[in-house]
Every structure is written in C-alpha cells, then in structure tokens.
Structure 1
Amino acid sequence: MRQLFLVVVTGSFIFLIPWIGYLLASLPSHRVVSQWRFAWVGFDCALILAIGVTALCAWRRLQIFIPWAIVTGTLLICDAWFDVVLDWNSDDRVGSLLTAALAELPMAALLLYVARKMIRLTILIAWQRAGRTDPVPPLSRLSLLILTAHQDHAARRGDHEGDRR
C-alpha cells in the first residue's frame, strides 16, 4: 500500500508541473461564468462547516481536532488567495486585502500553529509512555514510527526477541 501511495503522490507531483505550464499558456485572462455565486457560496459553506467542526472538536478536546484545524487553516488560506486575486482589479480589492490580512490569514496561522503544537504534544506523550528518555526530535526529522515500550526496551537491551515473533 505504501508503494502505491508513493507512486500516486510522486506521479501527481510530476504531472502537475507541465500541467501548470499548460494552464498558464491556455487559460483565458477573462471569462464570464454563470455559476459564480454558487461557487463562492459553496466554498464558504464548506469553510463554515470546517470552522464549526474544528471548534466543536476543540471544545470537546478531541484528537481529531488536529486534522480539522489543518483543513480549516488550509481553506482559509485558499479563501484569502482567491478573494485577493479575483478582486485585485475591482473596487473590492481593499476589502479583500483587509479581510485576508486581518481575519483569514491570522486565523489560518493560529489554527496551523495550534495543530502543530498538538501534534508535538501528542508525540511527546507517546514518547514518554514508550519509556523513551532521549529528547524528541523536531517534527521535520521525526520518522513515521510506532512507539511501544516493549520494542524500545528490547532495542536498548540489544535484544531482538521482538523481531522473532
């Protein structure tokens, strides 16, 4: 499953590089659309749902808060981007810039910061429960791993009994 995941994600990355070039060259600079209102209202409905679920998870102190905070922060960044870019040559530019700078981006930064802190706290607790006494590495260098007291204890003793099972 891991190999399939890696192929799909890496293939998507490679595919998107020329795709962005194609879009840059082929998309019109002006386009009239009939579903403009539906697109924005739909996106904002998804955003308010994400904010609501994130808030609920935070109030209930649920671990699932972490991915919801990341999703909500990401949606807020996307909302700021599209508001500013699409209103750039309009009378709404100042309002979009102010909303992005004073509301959407600070809220996104807060959500992503808190999610990172919660991930770090979760790892620290798992690290301690596994009986590890060495410092927890930074998230950027922490491998995906399974923390169990038995495996850690066996590794420290040089015992490979856990490997034979």
Structure 2
Amino acid sequence: MTKTIKTLLVASTNPVKVNAAKQALCAAFPNIEWQVQGVKAPSGVAEQPMTDAETRLGAVNRVEAIRQQSADFYVAFEGGYDRFHGQGFTFAYVAVSDGVRTQVGRSGTLPLPESVCQQLEAGGELGPVMDRVFNDHNIKQKGGAIGIFTNDLVSRTSIYADTLCLLLAPWLHPEIFGESR
C-alpha cells in the first residue's frame, strides 16, 4: 500500500524540535509519509521567555509565522521558565495547526534548582546556563535540562513529542471534536 505524502513545517531548525514533531506525526498518522522541514521563525518574545503567558505567546507567534508557507501541518515549540508557588520550573508550549484549526498546549514542568533559577532571572538563557552548570556544550540540542535532571528518563524530544501527540486528538477523532472548519 502506497503511503500518502504530506508536508510538515516546524518553526525551528533545532534537531530536537524537528525530530519531536516528526516522531509525533509519524506515530499519530502511520499511513502518512511526512516530508519534514525545519524553518526559522520569529517568536516575538524574549530569547528566554520568563512567564507562562510569554512562553505560550512565543509558540503561537512561531506557528502563525510559518503558516504563511504552504504545508499540511505546522508545529512550533517554545521553551520557557516561570515560578509557580515560589518554585522555578521550565516547560514548553506547543502549537500545531493544519491551517484551519490550531491547538496550543503546555508540556509537563521540570523543577529547577534555585541556582539555575537565579541565573535565568538575572538574564540568562536555560541552554547556556545548563552548559555552564554541567560543563557541557549545546545541551539544548541534546536531551536538554529535562534529560540531565531526569537522568534521561525523559528527554526534551520525548516531552515535546508527547505534548504534541496530546494536541493531535482533534485530528485523530474529528467525528467527536468536529471538523477543523
């Protein structure tokens, strides 16, 4: 049986984000062959979003920016930071669209040590902060803070892919959610 070919644009050239989007769409739609392309897209927010709302806005802005191009699906990820009840956390927002319907949701949250929180609140970005803390290079394109702090029980790719899979529910069950029109 020949697979249907569809296109997926990801609002990033970061291999973690591109792979997460591809994994999720391939798992959700196994009879489709996805042609995936990562493209740069402006978030319209700070390099390190510092609130839940700013992080969500970054994902929405990125997916809207790439929707100007032709594709079957569009996906954007935006990692952020915020304090909830005094504890600092990192998390991501994911936005997915077919050009008609758009779904936006947040990943699980990862608690961060106070020393990392203070560096972020002083203007740092999580990836470079983690590189310094763990004396590594380019952690954000590997397992991310999530991978390091969970001993690779969860990775940045897996949390992004899982969150995207949750957001695909309306496309997996259009008869219950209603058509995306």
What's the TM-score, normalizing by structure 1?
0.26
Higher RCO (CA < 8 A, seq sep 6+) = 2
Structure with the higher fraction of residues in strand conformation = 2
